[in-house]
Structure formats: structure tokens, C-alpha cells
A and B are shown apart, each in its own frame.
Chain A
Amino acid sequence: EIVLTQSPGTLSLSPGERATLSCRASQSVSSSYLAWYRLKPGQAPRLLIYGASSRATGIPDRFSGSGSGTDFTLTISRLEPEDFAVYYCQQYAGSPLTFGGGTKVEIK
């Protein structure tokens, strides 16, 4: 099983600031099968990034993903009010599918 470790656990930032979230895998994620999701209370989770760096349909370009192998990053260039939420990475290269522990982006 591929274990994903996200850091930091909580990120305290102001609107307009840049957020950098990390996801580290216990073994290499083949084909960069790594996705990022945003979860907000009472809303359906939303796919942001797939294939480590491809934006999903309708996702604004302030979201970007990078990385390969075992180290991946989600960057939000300028935080909007709707971006204060919890973010999860997921690997879909191996079975079972696994998620990271999440990073909460909160308003400073």
C-alpha cells in the first residue's frame, strides 16, 4: 500500500497570499497518477489536479500541481475566499487507492 503524507497539517494564510502544499509518497507513484481534491463543509469534494499537474475541467489557473516519483506539490498562487478549505492528495497508481491525511488552509 502506498502511504501518502501531507504537510503541513494546517496552513494559516491571508487572502491573496500563495499557498504551497506538499504530498510525499512512501514509494514512487508510477505515471504520476496523483490527484488533488478540495473539500469544503456541506459541498461535494472537487477534483483540482490529476496526473500530478493537469488541471481538471473548470479549475482556475491559480491552481497548479507539480512533482513526480514520491514528491508532489499543489500551489495556489493567490488565495481566494473559496480556497480556505481542506486539501487531499490521492494516488491511483496502485491498489488500494489511498489518500493523504489532508492539509487545512485557514484564514490567518
Chain B
Amino acid sequence: QITLKESGPTLVKPTQTLTVTCTFSGFSLSTSEVGVGWIRQPPGKALEWLALIFWNDDKRYSPSLKSRLTITKDTSKNQVVLTMTNMDPVDTATYYCAHTKPNYDILTGYYYNCRFDYWGQGTLVTVSS
């Protein structure tokens, strides 16, 4: 049974760096063609994809936020960590992590089929002074 759980601060100040952690069970990020993504949802707004990390430590980021995001994994702890720098009140959102099983084209280096089949319940992060 695959489960994921997000953890992190509930409140951060503007300009600070956010660090949120996804702790998962039921799969390993050392297994081929497995990935974990981060998605956020501001209050009353739509979902927004942020970042993906794959079993081979390859990473993908949302182009609009790429300069502020870093995603890492600790396979031994079954954790994925997302950091976001220079937080602003518009970054107030529920942050979700989710599991994906992509297909990987070794010739092109392209990851296909990145749907999110298991999600955590999310953690609400408020940015305010």
C-alpha cells in the first residue's frame, strides 16, 4: 500500500526559504521508473505542478518557478524534500506530494506518462509577516 505524507512549517515569513518534506512508504525511489512530484494549490485556486524527481536522480521543474526550487531525495529515509526560496504571500498554498510511475525513453531522455496515482493529504503553508 502506497502512502505519502507531507510535513513542514505552517507559517513562513516573506523572503524566507520554505522546506517541505514528503515521507512515503510502499515503494522505493531506487526502483526503476518511479518518481515523486510536488504540486500546490493556493486557497480557492487551481492545482499547479512544481517539480518532479525520478529514481535516477533526474529532476524536472516548472519553468515559471525553476529559479526558486530545488528537489532532492533521500532513498534510505524514503523522503523527498522540496525547497523554495524567497517566499512571498502569493506562495501561500497547500503543498502536496504524489507518486508517479513514468515511462522513460533512454534515447531521448524523456519521461512519459507522468500521471499522479497516489497523493498525500497536503500541508498548508502560509506566508505572512
List the interface of chain A (C-beta within 8 A of B).
1, 31, 33, 35, 37, 39, 42-47, 50, 56-57, 88, 90, 92, 95-102
Determine if A96 and B119 form an interchain contact, defined as CB atoms under 8 angstroms apart: no
The residue in A37, A50, A95 that gathers the most chain B C-beta atoms within 10 A of its C-beta is A95
Given known A44-B119, A96-B63, contact A33–B112 (CB-CB < 8 A): yes
Within the assembled complex, what's the spacing in Å between the Cα atoms of A56 and B47? 20
Are B115 and A42 in contact, CB atoms less than 8 angstroms apart?
Answer: no
Chain B residue with minimal CB distance to A92?
B114
Number of interface residues of B (CB under 8 A): 26
How far apart sit A47 and B120, CA to CA, in the bound complex (Å)?
12
Chain A residue nearest to B48 (CB atoms) is: A99
CB of B49 within 8 A of CB of A96, answer yes
Residues of A within 8 Å of B122, CB to CB, are 44
Taking the nearest CB of chain B, how far is it from the CB of A11, in angstroms? 16
A43 interface neighbour in B60, B98, B121, Cβ under 8 Å: B121
Q: Closest chain B residue to A93 by CB distance?
A: B112
A42: which of B63, B64, B114, B121 is its contact (CB, 8 Å)?
B121
With most chain B CB atoms within 10 A of its CB, the pick from A1, A31, A33, A44 is: A44
Given A33-B113, A92-B114, A95-B60, residue A44 in contact with residue B121 (CB < 8 A): yes
Contact indicator A46/B49 (Cβ below 8 Å): no
A sample of 7 inter-chain contacts (CB < 8 A) reads: A47-B115, A47-B117, A50-B115, A56-B117, A92-B113, A92-B115, A96-B64
Known contacts being A44-B120, A95-B60, is A35 close to B115, with CB within 8 Å?
A: yes
B49 touching A101, Cβ below 8 Å: no
User: Which of chain B's residues has its CB closest to A45's CB?
Assistant: B119
Pair A96/B121 contact, Cβ less than 8 Å: no
B46: interface (CB < 8 Å): yes
For the complex, give the distance between the alpha carbons of A35 and B118 in Å.
13
B24 at the interface (CB under 8 A from A): no
Interface centre among A31, A42, A50, A92 (most CB of B within 10 A): A92
Closest 8 CB pairs of A and B: A97-B49, A99-B47, A44-B119, A35-B115, A45-B119, A92-B114, A101-B46, A44-B121
